[in-house]
Amino acid sequence: MTAKLIKGTEIREQILDEIAAEVEEIKAKHGVVPGLVTILVGENPASISYVTLKIKTAHRLGFKEVQDNQSDDIPEADLLALIDKYNNDDSINGILVQLPLPKHIDDKKVLNAIDPDKDVDGFHPVNVGRLMIGGDEVKFPPCTPAGIQEMIIRSGTETKGAEVVVVGRSNIVGKPIANMMLQKGMGANSTVTIVHTGTKDLKAHCLRADILIVAAGVPGLVKPEWIKSGACVIDVGVNRVGEKVSEKTGKKIAILKGDVDFDAAKEIAGAITPVPGGVGPMTITMLMKNTLKSLKFKLGLM
Ligand code: GUN
């Protein structure tokens, strides 16, 4: 059996088209567009490329976009003051501080300084709490878990009553996606298990999964014999395992490998996400969706 591929690159285009259409409509009716600011501290190459792509995507959608780059020796107090400035800027609906931050800055303090109603990353404790309560309480689901849920829904996978096993318990992926999948409602209502480095028998748990979500950060951790026949497998791992020269550009690029042994797994799974081109493209897409939502909340449209 060869699994159906769940392509993030295709789903991204569908969702971005939906967002662009809504932006046009809101602009015509209300004369405003969503505003997103990205704050980048320092020159971490991976962070620069993420932020550049976020800004480019916001631009493509007709958002107001502000790229605020700061040097890596910015005092913590100045960064907090900058966040306060954007908290009070009416044209900005979403504030994103790119992580990681330099060591002299307390990232908890910084994330907590963002107005929860502009926290489009969904990392503020208020939004984490809202996610836990579920239902109408949720404003900004964190972007990677929201992207995963969207992929599960759009691939036509049944979630109600499904056994969902999440591998990994990070605050950014494992804990929130587990929480989202157990809520009542569409694309959820599942029976959820979280497994992690303290779990005794990973394979036994994974083998029960109708939907297996892997966010462990360990290349090739999940072997084909851990996968139930026909399961939906979502691989969140983006592990840099080497470098190669791009055929398109002639430049050196990273060789990426997921947390799942893809070539073997696709013969057993019913549906599976590739790496790259799977979950990766969904994170920025859902950031755009959250920024649009933030404006809609403000306009009373949600
Ligand atoms: N660094 C890596 N991923 C993310 C993300 O989703 N949001 C932010 N703010 N920083 C990141």
Which pLDDT value is given to residue 123? 97
pLDDT, tens digit, for every residue of 27-65? 999 999 999 999 999 999 989 999 999 999 999 999 999
Q: Give the bridge partners for 232, in sequence order.
A: 211, 271
Contact assessment for residue 23 and residue 62, using Cβ atoms and an 8 Å cutoff: yes
Contacts of 178 (CB under 8 A, 6+ apart): 164, 166, 192, 194
In the chain, the percentage of residues whose pLDDT exceeds 90 is: 96
225 vs 214: CA distance, rounded Å: 15
Ligand 1 centroid–CA 182 distance in Å is 24
26 vs 54: CA distance, rounded Å: 21
What 3-state DSSP class applies to 139? Answer: coil
Nearest-CA residue for ligand 1 atom 3 is 99
Ligand 1 pocket check for 96: Cβ under 6 Å: yes
191 vs 203: CA distance, rounded Å: 18
Which pLDDT value is given to residue 1? 62
For tokens 């550049």, what's the residue? 52
Give pTM, 2 decimals: 0.96
Which pLDDT value is given to residue 78? 98
What's the maximum distance between 2 C-alpha atoms anywhere in the chain? 57
Ligand 1 pocket check for 48: Cβ under 6 Å: no
Phi then psi for residue 244, to 5 deg, are: -145, 170
Which pLDDT value is given to residue 35? 98
Among all residues, which ones are annotated catalytic? 54, 98, 121
Low-confidence ranges of the chain (pLDDT < 50): none
Ligand 1 centroid–CA 281 distance in Å is 13
43 vs 181: CA distance, rounded Å: 36
Ligand 1 pocket check for 36: Cβ under 6 Å: no
DSSP character for 16?
Answer: H
